[in-house]
């Protein structure tokens, strides 16, 4: 008896997705609600659970193919998987590489010292010319993951090039040893990121204003209450909660920065849903801290920590990504000194944070060393005037340099 596995509802206005990876292979035992495949949508990766317990049957579509909501992507057969063998058709559908390339790949059967490779992992093995038997897997039951292969490839730059039959690798025209090119299809998420960012440049009258702030007071506050804060709330006190509260304070006075344009109308929000830019394995994502203006420092830190973890684990949902009235992008965690962040449509502004470094500044007529950070506010000049943008950023600067303002709403 076979049970069809269909593409689930993916969220409002999302009608299709791409098969990113098969998490189960034909013949594998599958439990109820156990993920069997990963789908890539415009915003997040979504795991498809098995509706019943049984054995993974036929994989109807291959990695990289586009599927619509409700489409059948696989079947689950009755049984426990102990003696099941993959159907020939399923095996053929699951293999994205040409026959010549597949022949050069390591054995896929489970056995002593031999691992079962998913199609996505197998493709990376072929592209980077690494030996999977010499890589320690970090996945379930010691299986190799894409990250394992990429780490091994980066650690061994002189590894043998991929087989000639691999379509993504090509020798450079000069014929110089060790030179090659790779063609890798953009993920659906990366394509969407590219379209949205380009759309922001084409649509918005984007402008960036800068300021800098002295982080001494925030650093002193964090150092003083770090241990007691973590002991009470179970989360570390970071800088993001200070800046989120500062944005809420500034947006109260300059509501246009927290608004959006809809046709010939301006939509103002009496709440602040902050999109927090997070670097995920498949690209930049912006999950949302909702009602950030009414949250405590601890609640903000907990929300950001949870969203960051789920972004890296690939478990963010469409609801986590939908909406947002303002964005904070912290390039400082990567060492960025200054940037001009791009607006996240349909929002009208984004705050860019950068690294903290000791710089000489003048205080009371004397040159002193202070931990300084450059701030950047990119905004849509169609909605936000220059005076408003400068005032907004100045309010954030003042709140960070004197955090007491955050408590007395000044």
Residue with tokens 């809420």: 248
Contact predicate 367/180, CB 8 Å: no
Q: Which of 299, 381, 402, 409 is catalytic?
A: 381
For the record, the structure tokens of 146 come out as 């894409």
> Is 385 among the catalytic positions?
yes
Other CB atoms within a 10 A radius of the CB of residue 278 amount to 19
Q: Which of 354, 385, 402, 409 is catalytic?
A: 385
> Is 409 among the catalytic positions?
no
Q: Please give the positions annotated as active site.
A: 381, 385
């Amino acid at each position: 008896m076979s049970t069809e596995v269909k593409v689930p509802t993916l969220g409002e206005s999302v009608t299709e997705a791409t098969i990113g990876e098969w998490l189960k292979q034909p013949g594998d035992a599958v439990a109820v609600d156990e993920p069997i495949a990963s789908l890539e949508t415009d915003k997040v990766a979504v795991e498809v659970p098995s509706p019943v317990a049984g054995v993974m049957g036929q994989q109807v579509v291959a990695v990289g193919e586009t599927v619509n909501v409700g489409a059948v992507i696989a079947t689950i057969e009755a049984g426990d998987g102990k003696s099941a063998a993959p159907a020939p058709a399923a095996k053929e559908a699951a293999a994205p590489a040409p026959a010549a390339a597949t022949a050069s790949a390591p054995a896929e059967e489970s056995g002593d010292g031999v691992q079962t490779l998913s199609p996505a992992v197998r493709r990376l093995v072929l592209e980077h010319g690494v030996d999977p038997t010499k890589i320690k897997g970090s996945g379930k039951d010691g299986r190799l993951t894409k990250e394992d292969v990429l780490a091994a490839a980066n650690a061994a730059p002189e590894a043998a090039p991929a087989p000639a039959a691999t379509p993504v690798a090509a020798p450079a025209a000069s014929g110089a040893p060790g030179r090659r090119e790779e063609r890798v299809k953009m993920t659906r998420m990366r394509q969407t990121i590219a379209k949205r960012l380009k759309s922001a440049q084409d649509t918005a009258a984007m402008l960036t204003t800068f300021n800098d702030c002295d982080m001494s007071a925030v650093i002193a506050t964090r150092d003083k209450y770090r241990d007691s804060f973590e002991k009470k709330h179970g989360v570390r006190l970071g800088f993001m909660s200070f800046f989120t509260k500062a944005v809420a304070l500034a947006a109260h006075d300059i509501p246009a920065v927290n608004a959006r344009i809809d046709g010939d109308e301006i939509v103002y929000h009496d709440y602040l849903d902050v999109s927090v830019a997070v670097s995920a394995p498949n690209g930049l994502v912006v999950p949302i801290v909702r009602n950030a203006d009414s949250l405590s420092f601890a609640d903000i830190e907990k929300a950001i920590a949870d969203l960051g973890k789920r972004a890296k684990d690939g478990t963010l949902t469409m609801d986590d990504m939908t909406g947002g009235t303002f964005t904070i992008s912290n390039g400082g965690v990567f060492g960025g000194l200054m940037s001009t962040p791009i607006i996240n449509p349909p929002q009208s502004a984004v705050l860019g944070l950068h690294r903290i470094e000791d710089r000489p500044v003048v205080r009371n007529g004397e040159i002193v060393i202070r931990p300084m950070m450059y701030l950047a506010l990119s905004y849509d000049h169609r909605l936000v005037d220059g005076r408003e943008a400068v005032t907004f950023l100045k309010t954030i600067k003042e709140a960070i340099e004197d955090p007491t303002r955050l408590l007395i709403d000044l």
